[in-house]
Amino acid sequence: MSESKRLRIAVQKKGRLSDESIGLLKAIGIKLQIRDRLLIAHSTNQPIDLLLVRDDDIPGLVMDGVVDLGFIGENELEEKMLERQQSGKAHDFKTLRRLDYGGCQLSIAVPTEFEYKGLESINGLKVATTYPFLLERFFKKNNINAQAVMLTGSVEVAPRAGVADAICDLVSTGATLEANGLREEAVIFKSKAVLIQRGEALSDEKQALINRLLPRVDGVMQAKE
C-alpha cells in the first residue's frame, strides 16, 4: 500500500468517544462531511481523512502505522499495548495529548449480595472481562490468584448467567452496574481519551500539519475549562 499524502486519523465510529472526538476536530477548524455508512470521511479544507472504526481497532491501526493519528481511550490503548507486547507485535506510539473527555474507570464489581472484605476476597473467583491483560496485570501485582474469563460483550450479565463470580468492566455513571445488581469494589485503571500518533516518523508535511493543529487542540481544551 503506498503511503497517502493525506493525514489519516482514526476515530471511534459509534460510542463513548465518537461525538467529542469528531466535535474536537471540527472545533479546530477541520471541515468534515461524515456520511453514515462510510468508513472514511475526507476533509474538504485540509489534507486529512478520517477513518471511522471500532474503538478496539484504533490502537492496532496506529501501532501498525496504517493511520497517523488516533483518538482512543487509555483503557483500550493500554490493553492492546500489553497484548501486542506479549505476542511480539509492534506496539510503539506517541501520546500527543491527554484530552478532557472520555473519563471512566476499569473496576472489579461483585454481586451486591457478595461479602467483599478486600482484595483477598477475589482469590479463587472467576472474573469476566473484556480487558484480560489489564486484569491479569492487576492480579499479578496484588498477588491475587483468580481467573480472568474473556467476554467481548455483555460482561455485566455474566454473574447472573453463572458464567463468572464477578466482573471487571468500565464504569462511568455506574448505571450499568446498578441495573445488574453489581457493586464496584476495586478500581484497577483510570482512563481518559488521548490523542496518539504512530511511532514511526511521518513525512515533514504531515508532521508540520500536526504541529499546527496541536496548539488549536490546546486552545479548545482551555476554552472549556
| Nearer of residues 176 and 207 to Zn ion, judged by Cβ | 176
* Chosen residue from 55, 78, 136, 156 binding Zn ion by CB under 5 A: 55
* Least Cβ distance, residue 133 to ligand PRP (angstroms): 16
For residue 66, with 0-12 CB atoms within 10 Å meaning exposed, 13-18 middle and 19 or more buried, which class applies?
A: middle
Q: Report the site for ligand PRP in 156-175 (rule: CB under 6 A).
A: 156, 169-175
CA distance 109 to 39: 35
* Chosen residue from 18, 105, 147, 176 binding ligand PRP by CB under 6 A: 176
Binds 207: which of Zn ion, ligand PRP, none (CB < 5-8 Å by kind): none
How many residues touch ligand PRP under the rule CB under 6 A: the total is 12
Binds 57: which of ligand PRP, Zn ion, none (CB < 5-8 Å by kind): none
Residues 6+ apart with CB under 8 A from 67: 8, 9, 10, 51, 58, 61, 198
| Nearer of residues 54 and 212 to ligand PRP, judged by Cβ | 54
Strands (E) across 138-221 are located at: 147-150, 166-171, 182-191, 193-198
Select from 17-25, 53-61, 92-100, 187-195 the region that touches Zn ion (CB under 5 A). 53-61
Residues 6+ apart with CB under 8 A from 60: 80, 84
Residues lying near ligand PRP in the complex (CB under 6 A) are found at 15-16, 155-156, 169-176
